[in-house]
Structure 1
Amino acid sequence: MLLDTAALYFRAFYGVPDTVHGPNGMPVNAIRGLLDIIARLVSEFQPTEIVACWDDSWRPQWRVDLIPTYKAHRVAEVAGASSSIEDVPDLLTPQVAVIRAGDYLAVAPTVVKVVRDLELPEFDARIRACSDERTAELDRLSVDWGLGSSMKRAQSALGALAT
Structure 2
Amino acid sequence: MKRLLLIDGMALLFRSFYATSVYNRFMYTSTGMPTNGVQGFVKHMLTSIETFEPTHVVCCWDMGSKTFRTEMFDDYKANRPAPPEQLIPQFDLVKEVVDSFDIPNIGLVGFEADDCIGTIAKMYRDDAEIMILTGDQDILQLLDDKISVALIKNGYGNYEVHSPSSFFEKKGLTPSQLIDLKAIMGDPSDNYPGVKGIGEKTATKLLLEHSTIEGILENLSSLTKAQQKKFEESLELLHLSRELAEIKCDVPVSCAIDTAEITFNQDKIYSKFDELEFTTLKTFVSKYCS
- TM-score after normalising by structure 2: 0.43
Tell me what 1:156 maps to.
286
Structure 1 match to 2:16: 12
For 1:93 and 1:73, how far apart are their aligned partners in 2? 18
Following TM superposition, by how much is the alpha carbon of 1:70 offset from its aligned partner in structure 2, in angstroms?
4.7
Bigger Rg, structure 1 or 2: 2
Deviation at 1:64, TM superposition (A): 7.6
User: Is residue 39 of structure 2 the alignment partner of residue 32 of structure 1?
Assistant: yes
Which structure 2 residues correspond to residues 76-87 of structure 1 after superposition, within 5 A?
A: 87=82
**How well do the aligned residues superpose, as a CA RMSD in angstroms?**
2.7
Partner residue in 1 for 2:252: 118
Greater shift in the superposed pair: 57-66 or 87-96? 57-66
Match for residue 89 of structure 1? 84
Shift >4 Å, 4+ stretches: 63-66
Query: Within 1, Cα distance between the matches of 2:26 and 2:65?
Result: 27
How many residues are paired up? 142
Paired residues of 1:23 and 1:144 also in contact (CA < 8 A):
no
The residue matched to 1:51 in structure 2 has which SS?
A: strand
Contact 2:69 2:76 in 1 (8 A): no
Offset at 1:28? 0.9
Q: Structure 1: 5+ residue runs without aligned partners?
A: 76-86
Pair 1:108–1:13, CA change in 2 (3 A)? farther
Contact 2:98 2:104 in 1 (8 A): no
In 2: Cα distance, 1:143 partner to 1:129 partner: 16
Residue 29 of structure 2 aligns with an amino acid whose one-letter code is G
SS where residue 22 of structure 1 aligns?
Answer: coil
Task: Quote the residue 2:140 is aligned against.
Answer: none
CA 1:119/1:52 → structure 2, altered by over 3 Å: closer, same or farther? Answer: closer
> Does 1:109 find its partner at 2:103?
yes
Alpha-carbon deviations, 1:100-150, whole Å to 9, x = none?
3x24442252222245521525331111142xxxx3332232122121222
Amino acid at match of 1:71: K
Write the distance in 2 (CA, Å) between the matches of 1:148 and 1:119: 35
Q: Distance in 2 between matches of 1:122 and 1:137?
A: 22
C-alpha contact (below 8 Å) 1:59/1:70 kept by paired residues: no
Amino acid at match of 2:78: A
Q: What is the CA–CA distance in structure 2 between the aligned matches of 1:97 and 1:129, rounded to whole Å?
A: 20
Question: How many percent identity over aligned positions?
Answer: 23
- Tell me which of 133, 136, 139 is aligned to 2:270: 139
Q: Distance in 1 between matches of 2:76 and 2:256?
A: 31
Find out whether 1:72 has 2:78 as its counterpart: yes
Q: Offset at 1:41?
A: 0.8
- Tell me if structure 2 keeps the 8 A contact 1:16–1:29: yes
> What CA distance in whole angstroms lies between the structure 1 residues aligned with 2:40 and 2:255?
31
Aligned mates of 2:277, 2:94 — CA distance in 1: 14
* 1:44-82 superposed Cα distances (whole Å, 9 cap, x missing partner): 11111100112214452327848x86533325xxxxxxx
Task: Check conservation: 1:52, 1:110, Cα contact below 8 A.
Answer: yes
- Bigger relative contact order, structure 1 or 2 (CA pairs below 8 A, ≥6 apart): 1
* Structure 2 residues not aligned, in runs of 5+: 116-250
Q: Distance in 2 between matches of 1:104 and 1:119?
A: 18
In 2, distance between residues paired with 1:88 and 1:142? 25
Residues 70 and 151 of structure 1: CA distance in aligned 2, closer, same or farther (over 3 Å): farther
Q: Aligned partners of 1:27, 1:107: CA distance in 2, in Å?
A: 20
